[in-house]
Amino acid sequence: MSRDDLASFREGALAAIPVCVGFFAITVAFGIAAQATGLPAGEVLLMSAVVFAAPAQFPAIELLPLSGQAMQILLSTLFINFRFAVMSFALVPHLKRLRTGGLMVGAQLVTMSTFAVSFLRFQRRSDHDNFIYFLGVAIPSYICYLMGTVVGYHFGVRIPAGFDEGISLIFPAYLSALLAAELRERRSIVVVGVAFLATPVVETLVPGWGLILNAIVVATAAIGVEAWWESVLPSS
Amino acid sequence: MGERVAVILGMGLGTYLLRVFPLLFAHQLSLGPRILRWFQFVSYAVIASFVWFGFTKGASPAGTMGIRIIALGLTILVAVRTKNALLGMAAGIAAVLILARVGS
């Protein structure tokens, strides 16, 4: 690894600190919940390692001890994690020069948080070091994720009362701060604002799909408006 | 135990395929500028939706919701002013912790 690569990795790792704290807190809670269901430690850690997506893991640990639930668990996992396909698509233009082996390893580390932190950096500065930066964000986050699972399962460490509210908001606060600090283009700012406000409406209409469906609808509408605007004002 | 492990591995495989297929095969499609722009907008919109879910999850309208709205406003204000996301986040979290303590 060259000096430039190390610097990019370090830049990603620093940006991942809030993600690590958030992942650790979430997976401690996951470990505690999984231990309470009676699942063995090895299976719980295996799930965190291969799925790496807490929203799909929490329902799975409730159903896994029951028999005959395999299909329901697998289908719900696919539906809940469908968002990763959209995120991977969005990363493609920024990881063009990467070989297949690198993509296959990196794919496992795509989550909402690692994607968001990396994507916003790529909007500001997209370069040959994109993948190293992504790994800098994702590898420490993955380690924190596994560590939190182990700590929660074996030690049942609970977040001190009064701090849980703050810790639960680390992710959204960090992402909103990243958006606020990084976004410059007016049209993208409008998309963010509309998507934020439309989320509860779409979530009410189609429960469970507010995140991805809302994004697709808002982005499609924005593209339509942008195309119309450019046809009306070709010089803008 | 064997069935549970198989289900967990199936969860992992399904999730991995969702992650890896676009990365491996999307570059073979010739994505025009409009499609790339659409993905850019989708990404921003997904992040914005995630922020909404994160800020409202577990908050009751009469209880912590007001505090969270203030925290979100402060987070954005500090991040825009300082161009520093970590500082913005710290301001928002500090506001939540202090206001929750004052209110209790």
Q: How far apart are CA A68 and CA A168, in angstroms?
A: 33
Please report, to the nearest 10 degrees, the dihedral formed by the alpha carbons of residues A114, A119, A121, A123 taken in order: 180
What distance lies between CA B90 and its chain's CA centroid?
A: 17
Do residue B47 and residue A120 have CB atoms under 8 angstroms apart? Answer: yes
Residues A36 and A136 in one domain: yes
Tell whether B93 is within 8 A of chain A (Cβ): yes
Residues A110 and A26 in one domain: yes
Do residue B8 and residue A51 have CB atoms under 8 angstroms apart? Answer: yes
Alpha helix positions (H), chain B:
2-25, 33-56, 65-82, 85-103
Residues A16 and A67 in one domain: yes
Return the pLDDT at A20: 94
Residues A117 and A165 in one domain: yes
CA-nearest of A20, A1, A82 to B14 is: A82
Residues A84 and A152 in one domain: yes
Return the pLDDT at B63: 64
Side-chain half-sphere exposure of A96, counting CA atoms within 13 A: 10
In chain B, domain spans = 49-103
**B7 close to A77: Cβ distance less than 8 angstroms:** no
Question: How far is the alpha carbon of B73 from chain A, nearest alpha carbon, in Å?
Answer: 10
DSSP letters for A164-212:
HHHHHTHHHHHHHHHHHHH---HHHHHHHHHHHHHHHHHHHHSTT-HHH
Q: How far apart are CA B72 and CA B70, in angstroms?
A: 5
DSSP structural state of residue B27: G
Tens of pLDDT, residues A140-190: 999 999 999 999 999 876 667 667 777 778 878 888 998 998 888 899 999
Per-residue pLDDT of chain A (236 residues; tens, 9 = 90+): 788 889 999 999 999 999 999 899 889 989 998 988 889 999 999 999 999 999 889 888 888 888 788 888 898 888 888 889 989 988 988 887 788 888 999 999 999 899 999 999 998 887 888 999 999 999 999 999 999 999 999 987 666 766 777 777 887 888 899 899 888 889 999 999 999 999 999 989 988 778 888 989 999 999 999 999 888 876 54
Domain boundaries, position A125: 3-182
Return the pLDDT at A131: 94
Q: How far apart are CA A197 and CA A214, in angstroms?
A: 10
Residues A121 and A224 in one domain: no
**A198 close to A214: Cβ distance less than 8 angstroms:** yes
Return the pLDDT at A50: 97
State if pTM tops 0.90: no
Residues A85 and A135 in one domain: yes
Instruction: Show which of A182, A199, A217 is a domain's final residue.
Output: A182
Per-residue pLDDT of chain B (104 residues; tens, 9 = 90+): 688 999 999 999 999 999 999 999 887 777 788 888 898 898 899 889 888 988 887 666 556 788 889 999 999 999 999 988 888 989 998 998 888 888 66
Return the pLDDT at A123: 87
Q: Which of A89, A94, A186 would you mutate first to test chain B, the one with the most B CBs within 10 A? A: A89
Within 8 A of B12 by CB-CB distance, chain A residues are 46-47, 49-51
Residues A168 and A204 in one domain: no
Within 8 A of B36 by CB-CB distance, chain A residues are 93
Return the pLDDT at A183: 85
List of residues 6+ apart from A175 with CB closer than 8 A: A113, A116, B47, B50, B51, B54
Element (H, E) at B29: none
In chain A, the number of structural domains is: 2
DSSP letters for chain A:
--HHHHHHHHHHHHHTHHHHHHHHHHHHHHHHHHHHTT--HHHHHHHHHHH--HHHHHHHHHHTTSTT-HHHHHHHHHHHTTHHHHHHHHHGGGSTT--HHHHHHHHTT--HHHHHHHHHHHHH---TTHHHHHHHHHHHHHHHHHHHHHHHHHH---PPTTTHHHHHTHHHHHHHHHHHHH---HHHHHHHHHHHHHHHHHHHHSTT-HHHHHHHHHHHHHHHHHHHHHHHSTT-
Counting Cβ atoms within 10 Å, is residue A168 exposed (0-12), middle (13-18) or buried (19+)?
Answer: buried
What distance lies between CA A195 and its chain's CA centroid?
A: 17
